[in-house]
Amino acid sequence: MIEIIPAIDIIDGKCVRLSKGDYDTQKVYNENPLEVAKEFEANGIKRIHIVDLDGAASKHIINYPTLERIANATNLVIDFGGGIKSDEDLRIAFESGAQMITGGSIAVKEPEKFTRWIDTYSPERIILGADAKDKKIAVNGWMENTDTDLISYLNDYIKKGICKVICTDIDCDGMLQGPSTDLYKEILENFPNLYLIASGGISSIEDIEKLEEAGIPAVIFGKAIYEGKVNLKDLQQFL
């Protein structure tokens, strides 16, 4: 059964969503992310993905008070990402209640530090965020493209112990036009034991069903819920 992981993206302490990672497209869905988290939990959700978009843009963790409030008031398993660039950021995230963190830009810019985190905290708690545009890695809140090939990049980190990867196709994110199922299939063909978490583009329950049929272990999505394209009650079949 595919794991369902709703996303809560945060700017200024509010629950927002962007399109293709463009900060100019932000739309506020709830002033209080804790309300959103509690609703997810009430509908049987066990795990959420929180993204500190202010942190991603500022290159250090910012919205950890919101993380702490959600962690203290729910029993949700929380994966937290966005702006985690230093040992201090990592410490704050874990002490604020994150069970796992996702590192994206740091894994590209400072691979030795990120590899040390994997070794220190275990691959169960450190997730690789592999955000891609045209199969090339993008960093810094998707504002900077690189020439790094996605498959080669994943291969390097799997050799270093990574076992969980969140892969977002930037062109799909927030567009409600369907996920990059073929890309995820290609990744799993190369790395069949990888716990691959698909992210971006979910527009319907059917999209999730197709990912499940393709053998994708987990999926992150948010805008489809906030825009009413996916009803939380309809997710019961996956829970």
Half-sphere exposure at residue 47, Cβ-oriented, CA atoms within 13 angstroms: 18
Among the options 52, 54, 131, 173, which is catalytic?
131
Q: CA 176, CA 124: separation in Å to the nearest integer?
A: 30
Among the options 9, 79, 173, 207, which is catalytic?
9
- Is 12 an annotated catalytic residue? no
Q: CA 221, CA 202: separation in Å to the nearest integer?
A: 6
- Is 131 an annotated catalytic residue? yes
Q: CA 72, CA 25: separation in Å to the nearest integer?
A: 31
Instruction: Write down the residue that tokens 């993380």 correspond to.
Output: 67
Q: CA 53, CA 56: separation in Å to the nearest integer?
A: 5
Q: CA 59, CA 81: separation in Å to the nearest integer?
A: 11
| Burial per residue of 225-236, b for 16 or more beta-carbon CB atoms within 10 angstroms, e otherwise | bbeeebebeebe
Q: CA 17, CA 24: separation in Å to the nearest integer?
A: 11
Residues with catalytic function: 9, 131
